[in-house]
Amino acid sequence: MIKGIIFDFDGLIFDTETHQYHILQEMFSEYGSELPLGLWQNEVGTDGGFSPFHYMEQQIGKPVEHALLNRQYEEKFLSVLSKEKPRDGVVEYLQMAKKLDLKVGLASSSSYRWVSGHLKNLELFDHFHCIRTSDHVEKVKPDPALYLQAAEGLELSPEACLVFEDSAHGATAAKRAGMSCVVVPNKITRTMEFGPVEHRLDSMADMPLRDLLDFVAAIKVKP
């Protein structure tokens, strides 16, 4: 029986990933280059150490000013995010989770400062009983540590948790942790190949949480 739900953050609750890629693409275009979507998807949901501006240098065959480009990128990114709202259905899922007396956690490969700051700006922070981020583990997704720690923080077994993810790395982490997983891809991750999961939604608005819980309770997909 599902007693708790655990959310990813970037790209799932708050679609940072789509904006992030589009801003980088615009910057690459200004230098006569391109950042392939498939290459960027490898970094979504994890921290592989990929440096987009080092990649840009390789593509254009000359050095670039990293400090300047990073500053321009951050300014554009934060400006766009200041106008962004939660993805469709997220708030309704959190509200229904409270009505159903479910414990609610969050597990993100980003930093606690990043996640908590945006949750507070979105007025969602108080919905979560446990938040685990890259600050709490040695390895981020696809390693299962984040999800295992989130379950422990909720005082639940992995089997009692349902994870919501938007990336392949995140879904892999959830299944490795022994949890059920529903993927809700965004515009950047919808073409990714996901492993075995319990269900896939285009949006949380497409299926009420209560109905989804009933559906997931009836099946269990092995990793």
| Residues with a known catalytic role | 8, 10
Which secondary-structure segment (H or E) carries 69?
Answer: helix 66-81
Cα–Cα distance for residue pair 216/55, rounded to 1 Å: 41
Contact 190, 169 (CB under 8 A): no
Cα–Cα distance for residue pair 37/35, rounded to 1 Å: 6
Cα–Cα distance for residue pair 204/88, rounded to 1 Å: 6
* Residues forming beta bridges with residue 181, ordered by sequence position: 163
Q: Tell me the pairing of strands 130-132 and 161-165.
A: unpaired
Contact 177, 157 (CB under 8 A): no
Residues 6 or more apart in contact with residue 125 via CB below 8 angstroms: 116, 119
